[in-house]
Amino acid sequence: VFYGNNRADFSFIPGNVAPGLLFRQPDHFENYDDWPFLWGQNEGTIGGNTAYLIFGLAFLDVMK
């Protein structure tokens, strides 16, 4: 879980889930100038959040 960002005002949104490992260099066009984020920090996936939520709820049910 990490803090995602809002590209419009460079603020952070808590609770995103990264879509994978960050193993590539930050060489995308938005990182060439003064863009303050690495390319992987530009992504927060709804699918990842949903899987994390479903797993967490299933774990809580098992623990009851």
Domains in the chain, number = 1
Query: Please, which pLDDT band fits residue 1 given cuts at 50, 70 and 90?
Result: very low
List, in sequence order, every residue forming a beta bridge with 2; answer none if it has no partner: 16
Per-residue pLDDT, averaged over 8-23, amounts to 62
* Residue 39: strand, helix, or coil: helix
Structural domain span for residue 11: 2-63
> Which residues are CB-contacts of 30 (< 8 A; sequence separation ≥ 6)?
37, 39, 42
Q: How many CA atoms lie within 13 A of 24 on its CB side?
A: 9
- What integer pLDDT is reported at residue 35 of this predicted model? 58
Which residue matches tokens 């060489």? 27
Render pLDDT for 24-61 as a digit per residue (tens, 0 to 9). Answer: 665 565 555 565 666 555 566 666 677 778 888 999 99
Contact 36, 10 (CB under 8 A): yes
